[in-house]
Amino acid sequence: MSQPVSVEPSSPPYPPRRVYLALPFHQPLFTWVLLAVNVLIWLLMTVRGGSERLDVLIAFGAKFNPLIVEGQVWRLLTSIFLHIGLMHLLFNSYALFRLGMDVEHIFGSGRFLVLYLLSGVSGSLLSFAFNPHLSAGASGAIFGLIGALGVYLFRHRQAFGQLGQRRLWDVIGVALYNLVFGFVTPGIDNLGHLGGLVSGVVLGWLVGPRYSVVLTAEGQPLVVDSNQWRRYWPGLAAAVFVLIVSTGLVMWKQSDSATVHLWRGERALDGGDPAQAATELERAIAQDPRSAEGYFYLGVAYGQLEQYALAAQAYEQAVHLSPGSAEVRWNLALIYAELGRYEEAIAQMEEFIALRPEQAYLAKARAYINLWQKKTKP
């Protein structure tokens, strides 16, 4: 009795066909919402006095290190909705529109919003850690979108072929160009960009789409995103935990920074406590011996305490660090006069006139010079 034999054909009867399947895309929503919020807040700031005024920026929630140290942690978030001037708003709005539409189209509205907000906060946090200056803007969040889009294209580079790989290199080029531009251009908070980019890469890897092909009930192939909430929420929760802990550590570190001590010293002066101001300002200078502003306010504090010799030393350091400051020259002249050093007082007041020759100051400055010249005569 013959036995059945299985025979494998040496080649398939038909050549394989390349099949193109549609990806699961989403309709953008939050990109439009964020654009509208950014424009609305900028208009409100303009009505309140201008989006480039420091007091307006602080009132609306800009990243300002001393206030964050005092507990206003929400500024790490609110600062990403503020923009300093019209050009800043227009540039970031264009970038948000171009990148936001793509990323929300791919990731979906929920994941897009999480990615945008956490990247923005991460950028603010890195800036808070290493940049003492006030800052604001959506750039950190936008760099997060760049990072997430780059991860998405890298993960699916084989499926997307040459077109996808070219797009990946385009994204990498945009990120590198903007980072280099930020490092060589003064006034740009590049630490916020870098923090947002790194966060976007990490979050893009955690929550980004992971495609697989399944068969429908009719036997048709269908691409689905297998990276759903139940799969990525532990990693996302860990990322949020790291962000919270990092914020606490940076707040602790910044509590002894020159910027915070300087701010506390200025507030103590405003509150009529020159002794406390002097203590805080001495700490600020110990942290940053190149702070002309710190020496200036220390001179004010010593002057109010009638410690004129110490005030003169502080103002002299301020003049050395910032010789073009007319206000320092004026105060130093008055302190020299208190010490009876009239010739030096006259010299400093003449320097003040050279720096501020406006009529509003000229008459009073000349009056002081005439008074001190009389005192120098035998």
Alpha-carbon Rg for the chain in angstroms = 31
Cα–Cα distance measured from residue 327 to residue 178, given in angstroms and rounded to the nearest whole number: 38
Cα–Cα distance measured from residue 334 to residue 305, given in angstroms and rounded to the nearest whole number: 15
Which of 88, 156, 193, 261 is the catalytic position? 193
Cα–Cα distance measured from residue 91 to residue 8, given in angstroms and rounded to the nearest whole number: 62
Q: Is 139 one of the annotated active-site residues of the chain?
A: yes
Cα–Cα distance measured from residue 241 to residue 235, given in angstroms and rounded to the nearest whole number: 10
Alpha helices per DSSP H over the chain: 30-47, 54-60, 65-69, 75-78, 86-107, 109-130, 139-155, 157-184, 190-207, 229-254, 258-270, 274-287, 292-304, 308-321, 326-338, 342-355, 359-376
Tokens 């920026």 sit on residue: 57
**What residues have CB less than 8 Å from 150, skipping those under 6 apart?**
168, 171, 172, 175, 200, 201, 204
Cα–Cα distance measured from residue 105 to residue 85, given in angstroms and rounded to the nearest whole number: 29
Which of 51, 139, 291, 325 is the catalytic position? 139
Q: Is 10 one of the annotated active-site residues of the chain?
A: no
Tokens 């025979």 sit on residue: 7
Cα–Cα distance measured from residue 217 to residue 52, given in angstroms and rounded to the nearest whole number: 60
Cα–Cα distance measured from residue 130 to residue 239, given in angstroms and rounded to the nearest whole number: 21
Q: Which of helix, strand or coil describes residue 298? A: helix
Nearest to 302 by CA among 274, 269, 265, 332: 274
Nearest to 202 by CA among 248, 238, 173, 251: 238
Active-site residues: which are they? 139, 193
